Amino acid sequence: MVGNCCAIRGTFFDFVDDPWKYEGREHEAARFTRDGLLVVKDGLVVDFGDFAEVSPRHPGLSITHIKNRLILPGFIDGHIHFPQVRVLGAYGSQLLDWLQNWIFPEELKYRDRDYAREAAKHFFDALLAGGTTTCQAFTTSSPVSTEEFFDEATRREMRVISGLTGIDRFAPDDFCITPDDFHSESERLIERYHRKGRNLYAITPRFAVGCTSEMMDRCRQLKLKYPDCWVNTHISENPSEIRTAREHFPDCADYTHVHEKHGLLGPKFTAGHAVWLSNDEFRRFSKAGASVCFCPLSNLFLGSGLFRLGRATDPEHPVRVSLGCDMGGGNAFSIIRVLEEAYKVGMCNNTMLDGSINPREQDLAEAERNKLGPYRAFYLATLGGARALYLDELLGNFDKGKEADFVVLDWNAGQTAMRWHQSLITHNESPENIDQAAQLLFGVMSVGDDRNIDETWIAGTRAYKKAGV
């Protein structure tokens, strides 16, 4: 075999389908390969399966054997803010005040190329340390920030989606960009970066509160001219934001209507948060093939509310869902911590819908769909996120032809109590079956954090190794 080739032997866990379709038997959506071999050539999976079957097909290949670990596809973050690294976890305010007090002043610094370049290094280092190999990211209204984002992603060969982030009101004058400048700079950046290497471009109106109708029209024009591009925005995060959006777009019946009216709601459209969407809005997202991004760290940190995962996963009108840390509204880069918070949100919603206070409020099916067991959780972090972002033909599991980004989990790392906690499930060096593996993964998401990320690999090359191990 010619080309840049490598093979990894170890215990693999990935998904072939959506576990919400397999209630009570979620393992049928997953694939557990206890002693597996992943063969990678030029960054792509060329063979995968049981070691005993796959290895004879590749004689002479040098093999990296990763023992006592679980290897999963790299985590996908559907909503994160590159220019907020330095202000993550800022004290004290809800969305609109927080933007004015903390976020816009910090993001303004990204006009400075040196500052943006240094920040990009911190950003991608932190992502990889959390096991995230692909993200959809906001930049700022300065093209410099978008260039530095894509240039650093290119150096690291990471699959990313991003774009110049448009805002022409509700921010200091020197932070706003005119619709004309936004349009011409977006075009220039699309030509320069979209589908160059692993970069993908998202037309990015920041949110309806910060975008005039004219700005939204420019976004529509861009999407018409570049239909292959993604669209990334925020929706219905916070009640004050929703009221303000209503005032700004009085002719729109609800927040989703703003995006429908401007021709943006459809495939490859992602709206972060979606905490307060009505049932009807969820149905329209489903019909349009648009996706929402569940950002529990941020929704809790900024006090925005509880995303209704059980509603989004309604089998009659399923909406594509990815997970996002939304750093810096979210106070960590870690998708493992996102899963922990998502689980807690699901438990609260489960309680609210289970009818224990008012039986008339009972919706047991929706209540159940809120519960985030390990199969559903790690599906959203991998293949589910890829499907939501329309990336599943490229990545999301270990199928042949996919990009070989993966994460190596140490289920015993983290809190001092972790090893003994996990020994309840297995004393052996690796889990014996899919159920044990899933239980270990639940231990990681409920008790763990990014200390459980031992290694992160990009396109078949190790890009991160935890220090001291």
Contact residues for ligand GUN, defined by CB under 6 A? 81, 95, 99, 103, 206-207, 234, 237, 298, 326, 329
Minimum separation from the CB atom of position 305 to Zn ion (A): 14
Which residues, including other chains, have CB under 8 Å from residue 468's CB and lie 6 or more apart? none
Residue 95 binding target from Zn ion, ligand GUN, none, CB below 5 to 8 Å by type: ligand GUN
- Site stretch for Zn ion (CB under 5 A), options 126-134, 318-326, 421-429, 436-444: 318-326
CA distance 174 to 232: 23
Residue number with CB closer to ligand GUN (15 or 149): 149
Residue 15 binding target from Zn ion, ligand GUN, none, CB below 5 to 8 Å by type: none
Residue 103 binding target from ligand GUN, Zn ion, none, CB below 5 to 8 Å by type: ligand GUN
Minimum separation from the CB atom of position 238 to Zn ion (A): 11
Minimum separation from the CB atom of position 81 to ligand GUN (A): 5
On the CB side of 262, how many CA atoms lie within 13 Å of its CA? Answer: 28
DSSP secondary structure code for residue 309 in this structure: H
Residue number with CB closer to ligand GUN (54 or 137): 137
49-70 burial string, b = 16+ CB within 10 Å, else e?
A: bebeebbeebeebebeebeebb
Minimum separation from the CB atom of position 207 to Zn ion (A): 8
Residue number with CB closer to ligand GUN (81 or 284): 81
Residue 237 binding target from Zn ion, ligand GUN, none, CB below 5 to 8 Å by type: ligand GUN
- Site stretch for Zn ion (CB under 5 A), options 54-62, 193-201, 276-284, 319-327: 319-327
8 A C-beta contact, residue 219 and residue 190? no
Give the angle 43-51-397 at the CA atoms, nearest 5°: 45
Residue number with CB closer to ligand GUN (36 or 166): 166
Strands in 213-310 per DSSP E: 230-235, 269-273, 291-294
Residues β-bridged to residue 96: none
Kind plus residue range of the DSSP H or E element containing 202: strand 199-205
Minimum separation from the CB atom of position 415 to Zn ion (A): 29
What residue is closest to Zn ion based on CB? 326
Minimum separation from the CB atom of position 249 to ligand GUN (A): 15
CA distance 272 to 80: 9
Residue number with CB closer to ligand GUN (193 or 207): 207
Which residues, including other chains, have CB under 8 Å from residue 101's CB and lie 6 or more apart? 90, 93
Minimum separation from the CB atom of position 99 to ligand GUN (A): 6
What residue is closest to ligand GUN based on CB? 329
Q: What letter represents residue 156's amino acid?
A: R
Binding mask 256-275 vs Zn ion (x if CB under 5 A, - otherwise)? ----------------x---
Minimum separation from the CB atom of position 234 to ligand GUN (A): 4
| Count of chain residues binding Zn ion (CB under 5 A) | 2
Minimum separation from the CB atom of position 243 to ligand GUN (A): 14
Residue number with CB closer to Zn ion (241 or 410): 241
Token representation of residue 70: 């679980």
Which residues, including other chains, have CB under 8 Å from residue 337's CB and lie 6 or more apart? 297, 325, 449, 450
Residue number with CB closer to Zn ion (326 or 410): 326
Kind plus residue range of the DSSP H or E element containing 409: strand 406-409
Strands in 51-150 per DSSP E: 63-73, 75-81, 132-138
Please state, in angstroms and as integers, the Cα–Cα distance from residue 148 to each residue in 29, 116, 123, following that order.
38, 6, 11
Q: Does residue 326 bind Zn ion (CB under 5 A)?
A: yes
- Site stretch for Zn ion (CB under 5 A), options 146-154, 204-212, 274-282, 323-331: 323-331
Residue number with CB closer to ligand GUN (36 or 130): 130
CA distance 464 to 356: 47
* Strand pairing report for 406-409 and 63-73: antiparallel
Residue number with CB closer to ligand GUN (68 or 240): 240
Contact set with Zn ion (CB under 5 A)? 272, 326
